[in-house]
Amino acid sequence: DPNLPRFRIADVRKHDGRSENPWIIYGDKVYDITDWIAGHPGGEVILRAAGGSIEPYWDIFSIHKTQYIYDILGQFLIGYVDTADLVDGRPAREEVEDPFSEDPERHPALITMTAKPRNAETPTDAMTADFLTPNDLFYVRNHMWVPTIPEDPGQHTLTVELEDGTVKEYTLHDLKTRFPSHKVTAALQCSGNRRKHMSEGSGRKANGLPWNVGAISNASWEGVLLSDVLADAGFDIPAGLAGTSEAKHVQFSGLEAYGASIPIKKAIDPQGDVLLAYNMNGQALPRDHGFPLRAVVPGHVAARSVKWLSHISLSDEESPSQWQRRDYKCFGPNQTHVDWETAPAIQEMPVQSAITGCRLGEWTKLPSKSDKDASGKTRKVKAKYAQQATLSGYAYSGGGRAIVRVDVSLDGGKTWCQAKILPDCTTKNGAPSSCFGHGSWAWKRWRYEGMVPLDAFEQVQQKTDDKKGGKSTRKPPPKHLSATFVVKATDESYNTQPESHSATWNVRGNLATAWHRLQVRSDN
Ligand code: MTE
Ligand code: MO
């Protein structure tokens, strides 16, 4: 309707999230969304876009880019952006708010996957240097912007809603002062960790960020037990434990509209250690990791450890969020058109391991020795060359299952040796353990040192300068060799990792846990 008024962007700005009549811009059109807010399935998060363009938000919440949504929006059209504020028919770029402008600074050593939203993995050399990943090197997985908190974080409120609609409110200050604090040492691992290997190893691209080995980190968390807060809010824990409560799921919501849920059984398991955490490695949570409050669900996929936690509700259903219902599920390698309804949401993690450090030493000539052949005849064995290799990495399993063994192969998986598991959580001579909690929630670091025999290497390319005048001038071992080192772990249920990514490839690239193969070059 060309007769509708034209508004300057400065006027639209007055109709922000605090105004009684919030407006948004889409394309060159202005909409008054006052009557939409109550019916908006995503709740009031839409107010974040009020006073400006909704497009940067719909780039994040891409489910909105459908005719259905455009039709709804059409009902609220009130006018157009004044041509003075348009460039090529759209609001000028500098007029559009950047949803990520308040995001915190990031440590330069983190390996950035995407800057907006922020996704970054822990640098490989820092992965297992420490048992507890330093806070500023802990991997970051954000689906949206990092919410800002009012001046006094103690006043941040968590609402807890029971199935009958009863709501209790707790400020962070209440949580810290009214409930006992607990510590839990736990790794968080994204379901997409090692997705890169799944795509490369199977030759089929899996959808999602191509994480390498660094979408997992380990920390000591401190907070209050979810079950203590649920009990205080009026939930009948004994009924929950007996399986007779109507509530089957605990739904978490974050301030920026992320949401996920866990089964009630895990939430109230006296040995489940589910925390509402405010500290990480002895410091307040960094903003990227959920300041001032996050759920920590040890043993489960990290997608359930909701950051910037603001609301909990008990329900007979899982969280309605897209991250519970439309993502973080696994499928078979044959399933490319998937049925999201029937596949279960990922909760407990399977067993995983990776090589995060690898150093090759000098070649050594192993002393030649006599040997007996099959007929018992003594023969001289030719001198063998071998190269020293030092490997390190992590191993982790979900559900609190301990890692019992880490196997390493220096010849691509033909023969195996055992790595040494570092005693990070074991108690020695009565010394206190550095691990807290009832399950094996933390990762295990492992080390392996061994000699790689020359015949484990393959020639990767022929170099002409090795031969002069038809005769090799070089002494063995030859140049340009490559070997494949492999790791796999086994947990206390004797679950182990699959050999190939082809066997577990899935369209979403979740749970890439096949043997980690690392090709190394020996360019001595
Ligand atoms: N919580 C909120 N509110 N928003 C998010 O985007 N991402 C989830 C989870 N909790 C997310 C969230 C996912 S998929 C992962 S892997 C972990 O947070 C990452 O936690 P981290 O960034 O502290 O490593
Ligand atoms: Mo994740």
Q: What whole-number percentage of the chain has pLDDT above 70? A: 93
Question: Is residue 301 domain-shared with residue 358, that is, in the same domain?
Answer: no
Q: Which residues contact 367 (CB under 8 A, 6 or more apart)?
A: 383
**Any idea which ligand is nearest the CA of 304?**
1
Closest C-alpha to 446, from 414, 413, 415, 417? 417
Ligand 1 atom having least distance to the Cα of 143 = 6
Q: What is the CB neighbour count within 10 angstroms for residue 286?
A: 18
Question: Is residue 400 domain-shared with residue 293, that is, in the same domain?
Answer: no
CB burial of residue 8 (10 Å; 0-12, 13-18, 19+): exposed
Protein residue closest via CA to atom 22 of ligand 1? 140
Q: Indicate whether residue 195 lines ligand 1 (CB < 6 A).
A: no
Residue 430 pLDDT class (50, 70, 90 cuts)? low
Q: What is the CB neighbour count within 10 angstroms for residue 354?
A: 24
Question: Is residue 238 domain-shared with residue 162, that is, in the same domain?
Answer: yes
Average pLDDT value for residue range 234-258: 96
Question: Is residue 80 domain-shared with residue 158, that is, in the same domain?
Answer: no
Residue 370 pLDDT class (50, 70, 90 cuts)? low
Separation in Å, CA 52 to CA 15, 184, 219, 356: 8, 42, 39, 45
- pLDDT at position 463 over 70: no
Structure tokens at 105: 């600074």
Distance CA 440, CA 359 (A): 29
Give the CATH number of the domain where residue 413 resides. Answer: 2.60.40.650
Question: Is residue 480 domain-shared with residue 456, that is, in the same domain?
Answer: yes
The reply to whether omega before 477 is within 30° of 0 (cis) is yes
Q: Is there a contact between 117 and 145 (Cβ–Cβ < 8 Å)?
A: yes
Classified as helix, coil or strand, 424 is: coil
Domain carrying residue 390: 352-368+382-522
Residue 469 pLDDT class (50, 70, 90 cuts)? very low
Cα of 140 to ligand 2 centre, how many Å?
9
Look up the pTM and report it: 0.89
Distance CA 286, CA 137 (A): 11
First to last CA, the chain: 74
406-426 b/e (C-beta count within 10 Å ≥ 16 → b)? bbbbbbeeeeeeebebeebbe
Average pLDDT value for residue range 52-67: 82
Classified as helix, coil or strand, 231 is: helix
Question: Is residue 179 domain-shared with residue 203, that is, in the same domain?
Answer: yes
Separation in Å, CA 347 to CA 266, 299, 362, 437: 10, 8, 45, 19
Classify residue 18: in a domain, yes or no.
yes
Protein residue closest via CA to atom 9 of ligand 1? 303
Question: Is residue 56 domain-shared with residue 124, that is, in the same domain?
Answer: no
Distance CA 345, CA 504 (A): 16
**Any idea which ligand is nearest the CA of 117?**
1
Question: Is residue 132 domain-shared with residue 91, that is, in the same domain?
Answer: no
Structure tokens at 41: 């399935």
Question: Is residue 126 domain-shared with residue 35, that is, in the same domain?
Answer: no
Structure tokens at 502: 């082809």
Name the residue of 148, 217, 252, 307 whose CB sits within 8 Å of the most ligand 1 atoms, as the mutation to test its pocket.
307
Structure tokens at 197: 């290997």
Average pLDDT value for residue range 463-477: 53
E strands of 175-215, at which residues? 182-189
ipTM over 0.90: yes
The reply to whether omega before 292 is within 30° of 0 (cis) is yes
Q: Indicate whether residue 142 lines ligand 1 (CB < 6 A).
A: yes
- pLDDT at position 196 over 90: yes
Classified as helix, coil or strand, 93 is: helix
Cα of 139 to ligand 1 centre, how many Å?
10
**pLDDT tens digits for 131-177?**
999 999 999 999 999 999 888 999 999 999 999 999 999 999 999 99
Protein residue closest via CA to atom 23 of ligand 1? 289
Q: Indicate whether residue 143 lines ligand 1 (CB < 6 A).
A: yes
Residue 472 pLDDT class (50, 70, 90 cuts)? very low
Structure tokens at 470: 């038809």
Classify residue 301: in a domain, yes or no.
yes
Name the residue of 305, 309, 321, 508 whose CB sits within 8 Å of the most ligand 1 atoms, as the mutation to test its pocket.
305
Q: Is there a contact between 97 and 25 (Cβ–Cβ < 8 Å)?
A: no
Q: Is there a contact between 183 and 221 (Cβ–Cβ < 8 Å)?
A: yes
Ligand 1 atom having least distance to the Cα of 309 = 3
Distance CA 215, CA 176 (A): 30
**Any idea which ligand is nearest the CA of 290?**
1
Closest C-alpha to 444, from 404, 494, 390, 495? 404
Cα of 9 to ligand 1 centre, how many Å?
34
Closest C-alpha to 288, from 206, 188, 381, 438? 188
- pLDDT at position 63 over 80: no
pLDDT of residue 383: 65
Distance CA 139, CA 189 (A): 9
E strands of 235-351, at which residues? 249-254, 259-263, 275-280, 283-284, 294-296, 309-315
Q: Indicate whether residue 328 lines ligand 1 (CB < 6 A).
A: no
Q: Indicate whether residue 349 lines ligand 1 (CB < 6 A).
A: no
Catalytic machinery residues: 40, 64, 141, 190, 328
**Which of 1-10, 306-315, 376-385, 473-482 is most confident?**
306-315
Distance CA 278, CA 273 (A): 14
Question: What does DSSP assign to residue 184?
Answer: E
Question: Is residue 54 domain-shared with residue 124, that is, in the same domain?
Answer: no
Ligand 1 atom having least distance to the Cα of 189 = 16
Least confident span in 13-22, 103-112, 373-382:
373-382
Q: Indicate whether residue 513 lines ligand 1 (CB < 6 A).
A: no
Classify residue 105: in a domain, yes or no.
no
Question: Is residue 171 domain-shared with residue 138, that is, in the same domain?
Answer: yes
Give the CATH number of the domain where residue 57 resides. Answer: 3.10.120.10
**pLDDT tens digits for 200-225?**
999 999 999 999 999 999 999 999 99
257-278 b/e (C-beta count within 10 Å ≥ 16 → b)? bbbbbbbbebbbbeebbbbbbb
State which of 38, 63, 95 marks the end of a domain.
95
Q: Indicate whether residue 141 lines ligand 1 (CB < 6 A).
A: yes
pLDDT of residue 98: 85
Q: Indicate whether residue 454 lines ligand 1 (CB < 6 A).
A: no
pLDDT of residue 462: 58
Q: Is there a contact between 135 and 286 (Cβ–Cβ < 8 Å)?
A: yes
Question: Is residue 275 domain-shared with residue 153, that is, in the same domain?
Answer: yes
Classify residue 346: in a domain, yes or no.
no
Classified as helix, coil or strand, 271 is: coil
Give the CATH number of the domain where residue 271 resides. Answer: 3.90.420.10
- pLDDT at position 476 over 50: yes
Classify residue 463: in a domain, yes or no.
yes
Cα of 424 to ligand 2 centre, how many Å?
25
Classify residue 496: in a domain, yes or no.
yes
Classify residue 296: in a domain, yes or no.
yes
Structure tokens at 90: 């759209």
Protein residue closest via CA to atom 4 of ligand 1? 258
State which of 43, 67, 95 marks the end of a domain.
95
Separation in Å, CA 486 to CA 36, 141, 416: 55, 27, 9
Classify residue 179: in a domain, yes or no.
yes
Cα of 48 to ligand 2 centre, how many Å?
24
Count of H helices and E strands in the chain? Answer: 9, 33
Structural domain count of the chain: 3
